Chain A
Amino acid sequence: MSAPTTPLTTGTAGGTTTPRRRRRGPRTWLAALPLLAFTGLCFGLPLGAIAFGAVTRTDQATGSTQVTGEHLARSLQGPYLGSLTGSVQLSALTALLGAVLGVLVAYAVATSRSTALRSAALTASGVLANFGGVPLAFAFIATAGISGVVTRLADLTGLGWNLYSFTGLTVVYLYFLIPLMVIVTVPALDGLRPQWREAARNNGASTWQFWRHVGLPVLAPSLLGGFVLLFGTAFAAHATAAALVGGSVPLVTLKIADALSGNVLTGQENVALALGLDMILIAGLVMAVHLPLQRRSARWLR
């Protein structure tokens, strides 16, 4: 799920997606052929397979296949719908928090004069952004779980802390989302030229006015791109949540796993595919919000 968003947002962050207006030769599309073939094979075919499975039903006994809306309908009802909204809520909240906190950290890193701090922070972010899954869940269980070290030392349970909840999951997700935001926004902050700020100051602008009218509008596409990337990452995360909360926080990835590869529910494969299709649509919607805005303000970072 996060894969389609990646090329998009890294492009934004680097500020390199400036549209070229030069006239192209008639055969330049040939150069894009490998990419198109790759995209078609690695995204198009699976997408087609998911869509096909989501809207058909195959009778095992006769082998006949019929088109049906039943799976999609089921994926938008009851606990399945609950898991979709649960995932959207969790992803939106963690992406928002992660984006805000990540930008603050990134700003501190980008404006710091210490190169040691800068490289340390960026390296750490690179590592932490990829530190997810079961190891992360167990690291948190060991420190902040019921019998975790920190939980017992600081009596977190007495303070109402519970790792195995929506709040707990939010904190754990932020652990890898904030570093991810740092990685994608530091290049954009670097692109914010000091001359602009000097020019604004010379014209009598306050710090607030500079940010309100120059800084934030220029950064907006990168920030939004970062938010979309974070949303996608959180939306698609599975292993951490599976190890941490099991079924007690409804998430769509967990539901897909239950339906696709479980020991209890039989014959749910097509509902899992329908849920996958729902996820793709939601991710597509989020990206659709981002694209026009990005195009509008990308010209500043040329």
Chain B
Amino acid sequence: MFSSSARRGAAVLLGAAVLTTLSACGAAPDQPAAGTAADGKAKARPVTAASAADLGGMEALVAAAEKEGKLNVIALPPDWANYGEMQKAFQAKYPKIKIAAENPDASSSDEIAAVKTRKGQDRAPDVLDLGIAFARSGAAENLFAPYKVTAWDRIPASQKDADGRWYNDYGGYVSIGCDAAKIPHCPQTFADLLKPEYKGKVALNGNPTKSGSAFGGVYAAALANKGSFADIQPGIDFFGQLRASGNFIPVESTPATVEKGETPISIDWDYLNAGYAEQFKGKGVDWKTVVPADGVYAQYYSQAVNKDAPHPAAARLWMEFLYSAEGQNIWLAGHARPVLLPGMTQDGTADKDAVAKLPQVQGTPSFPASAELDKAKATLAEKWDKALS
């Protein structure tokens, strides 16, 4: 009795599987159709254009993008680095292109997953804002279209892929935010954080094996403690020490925990910390931001165009907008440091007031090489749990 019903159950399962496959096949013809539509769109061929010039200049690009009429973006939180304003400004400038923003709080791996799983679909993301590791791995997996924006030459060589498959967009420094209303003497360096007066007060923006900014925090702590880009271990040890002394609290700092005073000292990107200062002014929070002199670490996010973008021209136009003086200044107004900032400060196109509001940093940032980054991540994934428990 049981075995025969089990066999029948298996037959049902098989039937269901066949049905699923059939319906999947039914969906398949959409893919080539979408492809031909993009290919057949004309001589301009936005899908392969590696620069605006390839299409016959900016005007042709705008025309092609307006014809597509839509732009799919993903993982752009409106309250992060002024991305809300960025989308509004683009929308105002190109009213014929509708921005469809999806899952603002998605992570980089969610973005990559969306590119892979929606390949050929109309709702696949057109452009991506990625953590540097994902930009590199995505390029290695051949997921991005090479495209060089007009301002390409002004992006420093260390911050772009030579083929134009990804390039940094904006970033910031690891900073220490501190509620001066609750903490009498705000810590200025990583070494300060070990002082007994900060017991139960120091937080990171998440778990460094998951959150990019927390990872940056550990990297910066490594640099502050005789580590290097190739050696993140001293940073892990530093947080182990903070944990042992009771100074470190594992609560993920968010705007809510900052406002409530649960994370009175928070290691985070300077643009987020600087943003909190403005956000919570007059709410009993006197948030001060300092880039610790002993552990200067900057990290930038990267932009990439989906190779199979359903709206290839709109995607490229969005890139041009981001890397125009207008777009770069919008990030700057969000306390982030746009990648073209050095050049823009020289030619005077940078918004001076916004620049003045950035936390002070000495020198220019340097970046870990791909291999160093991979090694640091492997070490972190291996050692972090043990150091913290």
Contact pick for A248, options B5, B133, B215, B243, CB 8 Å:
B243
Shortest beta-carbon distance from B211 to chain A in Å: 6
A250 touching B389 by the CB < 8 A rule?
Answer: yes
A247 touching B142 by the CB < 8 A rule?
Answer: no
Contact pick for A246, options B5, B20, B250, CB 8 Å:
B250
Interface check A142, CB cutoff 8 A: yes
B141 touching A60 by the CB < 8 A rule?
Answer: yes
B9 touching A40 by the CB < 8 A rule?
Answer: yes
Interface check B151, CB cutoff 8 A: no
When distances are taken between beta carbons in the complex, the residues of chain A under 8 Å from B256 are 138
B210 touching A258 by the CB < 8 A rule?
Answer: yes
User: Among residues 206 to 220 in chain B, which have CB atoms less than 8 Å away from a CB atom of chain A?
Assistant: 206-212, 215
A262 touching B211 by the CB < 8 A rule?
Answer: yes
Cα separation A186 to B133 with both chains bound (whole Å): 53
A40 touching B13 by the CB < 8 A rule?
Answer: yes
User: Among residues 68 to 95 in chain A, which have CB atoms less than 8 Å away from a CB atom of chain B?
Assistant: 78-79, 82-83
Cα separation A141 to B253 with both chains bound (whole Å): 12
Contact string against A for B residues 240-261, beta-carbon threshold 8 Å, 1 for contact and 0 otherwise:
0001001001111000110011
When distances are taken between beta carbons in the complex, the residues of chain A under 8 Å from B250 are 164, 244-248
B: number of interface residues (CB 8 Å): 54
A146 touching B262 by the CB < 8 A rule?
Answer: yes
- Residue ID in chain B nearest A146 by CB atoms: B200
A: number of interface residues (CB 8 Å): 47
A249 touching B389 by the CB < 8 A rule?
Answer: yes
Contact string against B for A residues 132-154, beta-carbon threshold 8 Å, 1 for contact and 0 otherwise:
00000010011001110000000
- Residue ID in chain B nearest A266 by CB atoms: B137
Contact pick for A142, options B17, B243, B260, B380, CB 8 Å:
B260
B9 touching A79 by the CB < 8 A rule?
Answer: no
- Residue ID in chain B nearest A34 by CB atoms: B12
Cα separation A293 to B107 with both chains bound (whole Å): 45
Interface check A29, CB cutoff 8 A: yes
- Residue ID in chain B nearest A35 by CB atoms: B9
Interface check B101, CB cutoff 8 A: no
Shortest beta-carbon distance from B347 to chain A in Å: 33
When distances are taken between beta carbons in the complex, the residues of chain B under 8 Å from A82 are 385-386
Provide the main secondary structure of the chain B interface.
Answer: helix
When distances are taken between beta carbons in the complex, the residues of chain A under 8 Å from B20 are 45
- Residue ID in chain A nearest B383 by CB atoms: A79
Shortest beta-carbon distance from B164 to chain A in Å: 19
A264 touching B208 by the CB < 8 A rule?
Answer: yes
B137 touching A267 by the CB < 8 A rule?
Answer: yes
Shortest beta-carbon distance from B340 to chain A in Å: 23
Cα separation A244 to B257 with both chains bound (whole Å): 12
Cα separation A263 to B217 with both chains bound (whole Å): 14
Cα separation A269 to B109 with both chains bound (whole Å): 9
When distances are taken between beta carbons in the complex, the residues of chain B under 8 Å from A269 are 109, 113
B384 touching A79 by the CB < 8 A rule?
Answer: yes
When distances are taken between beta carbons in the complex, the residues of chain B under 8 Å from A147 are 260-262, 264
Interface check A120, CB cutoff 8 A: no
Cα separation A127 to B208 with both chains bound (whole Å): 34
When distances are taken between beta carbons in the complex, the residues of chain B under 8 Å from A164 are 249-251
Cα separation A262 to B215 with both chains bound (whole Å): 11
Contact pick for A37, options B1, B16, B257, CB 8 Å:
B16
Interface check A54, CB cutoff 8 A: no
B109 touching A260 by the CB < 8 A rule?
Answer: yes
Cα separation A267 to B377 with both chains bound (whole Å): 12
Contact pick for A61, options B107, B141, B257, CB 8 Å:
B141
Contact string against B for A residues 235-262, beta-carbon threshold 8 Å, 1 for contact and 0 otherwise:
0000000111111111000100110111
Interface check A32, CB cutoff 8 A: yes
B386 touching A79 by the CB < 8 A rule?
Answer: yes
Interface check B50, CB cutoff 8 A: no
Interface check B131, CB cutoff 8 A: yes
Interface check B108, CB cutoff 8 A: yes
Interface check B63, CB cutoff 8 A: no
Cα separation A60 to B207 with both chains bound (whole Å): 28
Interface check A44, CB cutoff 8 A: yes
When distances are taken between beta carbons in the complex, the residues of chain B under 8 Å from A141 are 251, 257, 262
Which of A79, A244, A254, A262 counts the most chain B CB atoms within 10 A?
A262
Taking A29-B4, A37-B13 as given, write out 7 further A-B residue pairs in contact, using a Cβ cutoff of 8 Å, ordered by the A residue number.
Answer: A40-B16, A61-B142, A79-B384, A245-B250, A260-B109, A263-B108, A265-B133
A-B interface, 6 closest residue pairs, ranked by CB to CB distance from nearest: A247-B207, A263-B212, A248-B250, A262-B210, A60-B141, A40-B13
